[in-house]
Amino acid sequence: MLGYDQGKNFTYDHVFQPKATQVEVYEVVAKPIVADVLNGYNGTIFAYGQTSSGKTFTMEGILGDPVFQGVIPRIIHDIFNHIYQMDENLEFHIKVSYFEIYMDKIRDLLDVSKTNLSVHEDKDRVPYVKGATERFVSSPEEVFDVIDEGKVNRHVAVTNMNEHSSRSHSVFMITVRQENLETQKKLHGKLYLVDLAGSEKVAKTGAEGTVLDEAKNINRSLSALGNVINALVEGSSHVPYRDSKLTRILQESLGGNARTTMVICCSPAAYNDSETKSTLMFGMRAKTIKNMVMVNEELTADEWRRRYERERDRVKKLRVVVSKLEAELKRWREGETVSPAEWFTENQYMSALEEPRDTIPAAPAAGPIPAVLDSVGTPTGAPGTAAVPGRPGAAPQSLPEAQRVVAGVPDEQVQVLYNQLDDKDEEINKQAQTIARLRQQVEEQDEVIRSIRQDREAQLAEITSIQAEYQSSKEEVKEVLQALEELAMNYDQKTQEIESKTKELEEAQEALSKQTRVMNSKDGELNQLKDTFTNQKKKYTEMMSNLLKDLVDVGECMSDQLTKPSFGTAERLDEEFTVMRLYISKMKTEAKSLQSRVRQLEEERVQHVQLMRKSEDESKDLRTRLHGLEVKIGSLTDKVDDTESRKRQLQETVDSLNAEVAKLRANEQLLAGTGEQNQQILAGQSSIRAKLDEEFKRQSELYAVQVKELRDELDGKQKKLEELKDEVNSLKFQGEKSDEELARLRKECEEKTSRLESMEKAAEKREQAKQDLRGLEETVVKELQTLHNLRRLFVQDLNNRIKKSASRMNASAANNQLTTANANSPAQPGSQTNETLAVDLEDDDTAHGGSLAQREKIVFLEYNLDKLTKVHKQLVHDNAELQCELPKLEKRLKITVERVRSLEASLKEAKEGAMRDRKRYQVEVDRIKEAVLQRNLAGRRGQPHIAKPIRAGHAPTSPQTPANYRSSQPSVIRPSIAGAP
């Protein structure tokens, strides 16, 4: 530092070397403030310096690291360690708040929605941040959770000098409230842990945009802090605390009621010499500030009342002393001689004003009277110094004067005077005996008082033990109430889970109802399809029978035509063939439509099977959920039983305490009969005991009412649990019935599936029959074509035969003419006749051959017709069987649908009943919660937060580990404090 300013000295309380550890910094900077805060003082620790000088590292360090953690985590551990080592009668309430000053706006780091908080003053004109979030904590881990939550929301940025530059001033405030449960004494202290943002030069940091605006606001607030310190150092009448929110919040820390420690963080680099010099000058000025600290003690109404009564009693005693002194002074002024025994001495004054140690008035001390008289001299300048005759202390001084009086007085008067002296001596002896007797009585009274005091101390010890037992029972009742609150919270959670499960059950029921409706619609469609299929099958059967009849008729016609050919047969065959072709085409179309319908029915069957499987899975899920609910209800029942047993134990404890109180009252009555003096001595004790009895009676009645209410609530909960068990059992029974119905429906579905498969096989058979009919149709067409060709050949043959017969007839006529004309030539007619016979024989052979072929064709057609007849009869038989099975299946399907509907209706009724019970149960739970909330609010006396009390005298959960500090060179300044103890 000599290079900065030769000969310039900077004076501080302590200077740390660059290699100083975090432990060394904490031991010097923060550790002394912990005890002060716990004793009711305010404290402030804040770090000041340029940017990147190690302020945040000094204050926070690395949280959780035993070596590099900073002041804040170590001071948190130290506070709780001190609490754990203090008296067990102390109860602490600790709350923390965490906020930052960013862009001259106070922003709550625990609630990011609070971005512009204001600073107000309380009734003592102490500034505070209004609306800041306050969290009650009971362990260091909870404090660290709050710090982690706040650090996430803090503003940081990257500059040329620091990778994690703080862009705001952060303030972590710890408020400690302490209460002594025995003396009811209350103290509170606040600890401000401030991490200031560093002053920076834009040329070095390279700030731009928003970072530049942040740097301007940081430098402005630090400048306002410097102005406040300068005004305090110079003793100015006006201190500009209101120029910045930072100085407004730290008003008590700068010249107010707080023990303040400032850590000056400097950079040893020559590059930052000007900033380091200004920082050191700032620390020098801040060191000269003087704070006026005092203990923050909270006086209750009872404390104020006790102080008032004490001062009132003191005034009464002073008035009595003044009245005694005035009476003595009046006697002196009237010329009366006051004996030293009647003088009001300083000891009597001190004893009259002495505060009693306890509420029982002590008896006045009785010292030896002669010693007191010997030790007290006559006041100087008091009137009436003449000695009283017969007084031992005055006889030596008055003897010469008496001799002079006797010399001039007659002997009779002297004798009378001597007789009077003898009488006075006898009176003095009697008074001495009376004094001795009274002294003995006083000693006896002292012994009685000592014994009474011993009895009182024993009774006080018993009362103390009773109070301790009462306090323990009170704590047990608090624990029971907390357990009941936890039980209520768990009950609310279980109720929410039941509501969610109920919603899921309702959704599943809705899905099941939807699936049932879909199944009903599918069943209706299936019935329609079955009806359509039946009608189509009837039409197909009728068409087949008609076709067979037509085939039979065609065969008969063809046989008639073949046997008796005629010219009108051809036209009739053409017409019958056309009709047959039309019937066959209709059969093809109907067969195709039936085939498509069968495929559609198969797809619908698959869908129905999938729906049944899905409903089965959902029923399994419902059963598992129902089992889970039964398990949860069982656990709740066990908790209720545990609570009931604990309640009975507390009731037995209260009864035993009542019995002990009755014994104490009996002892008190026995002690009350010892006499009037004992009653006067025990007056204060009886008042205290009456107050304690009244308080205990009130608390006992309150706890009895609470226990009764809790018992009634537990009985109601037990009844509700039994009702829920009944509902669960009924639901379980209905679920089992539903499972049985589902199994039966599954079985019926399987049967229907098997029958549908048989129907599919029958359809396949029908398809095969259709294919056979198609082949038969082709065969019939071919045969008809063959018959048509035969008919055409037959017609041609007939025409040829007719032509031949005509030519033969012409030839026979010509032969007859030739026979008659040529009678002379016999050989020629014979030859012609032979030729004609030959032709006729050939024609007969040809006709015979043609009839044989036709007969063979007719036999073949008859054979095919027999086959078709058999196939038709088989199809008719199968169709009749299917028609017989179809009504049975339809009847079973209707029964299944009706059963499903009845199950849905019963499930709906059960759901409505469960909803009604749940609503009643929810209303009851809301009522219980409201009652518990009102009781808690009445117990909290209007406090808006739930405090987490910490009882002192317990070992810490985890020991504090030391930490190192490796950063720049900080200097510590502790401003001098006027009036510090």
Q: What are phi and psi of 193, to 5 degrees?
A: -115, 105
- Decide: 847 and 798 in contact? Cβ < 8 Å: no
CA distance 783 to 351: 155
Q: Which residue shows structure tokens 């599919």?
A: 760
CA distance 96 to 103: 23
Tokens of 76: 């948190």
The partner residues of 190 in beta bridges, in order of sequence, read 175
Listed residue (244, 671, 660, 299) closest to 455, CA to CA: 671
- Decide: 179 and 107 in contact? Cβ < 8 Å: no
Q: What are phi and psi of 192, to 5 degrees?
A: -100, 125
CA triple 446-451-454, angle to 5 deg: 125
Look at phi and psi of residue 187 and say left if phi exceeds 0, alpha if psi is from -120 to 50, else beta: beta
> SS3 of 758, please?
helix
Residue 503 assigned to a binding site: no
- DSSP for 269-326, please give it: SGGGHHHHHHHHHHHHHHHT--EE----EEPPHHHHHHHHHHHHHHHHHHHHHHHHHH
Tokens of 175: 């408020």
> SS3 of 235, please?
coil
Within 10 angstroms of residue 776's Cβ, the number of other Cβ atoms is 19
- DSSP for 39-82, please give it: TT--EEEEEEEBTTSSHHHHHTBSTT-TTTB-HHHHHHHHHHHH
Tokens of 307: 């102080």
CA distance 744 to 751: 10
Residue 50 assigned to a binding site: yes
Residue 569 assigned to a binding site: no
CA distance 808 to 842: 14
Burial class (CB within 10 angstroms; exposed 0-12, middle 13-18, buried 19+) of 215: buried
Listed residue (78, 75, 40) closest to 293, CA to CA: 40
Beta strand pairing call for 127-130 and 118-121: antiparallel
CA distance 880 to 107: 90
CA distance 339 to 431: 16
- DSSP for 846-871, please give it: HHHHHHHHHHHHHHHHHHHHHHHHHH
Q: Which residue shows structure tokens 């003088």?
A: 343
Residue 661's H or E segment, with its range, is: helix 569-672
Within 10 angstroms of residue 632's Cβ, the number of other Cβ atoms is 15
Q: If you compute the radius of gyration of the chain from its CA atoms, what whole number of angstroms results?
A: 63
CA distance 842 to 830: 18
CA distance 250 to 256: 9
CA distance 790 to 785: 8
Residue 56 assigned to a binding site: yes
Residue 647 assigned to a binding site: no
> SS3 of 957, please?
coil
Beta strand pairing call for 259-266 and 43-49: parallel
- Decide: 885 and 752 in contact? Cβ < 8 Å: no
CA distance 620 to 632: 19
Residue 850 assigned to a binding site: no
Torsion of CA 923, 929, 935, 936, to 10 degrees: -160
Provide the annotated binding site.
49-56
Annotated binding-site residues for ATP read 49-56
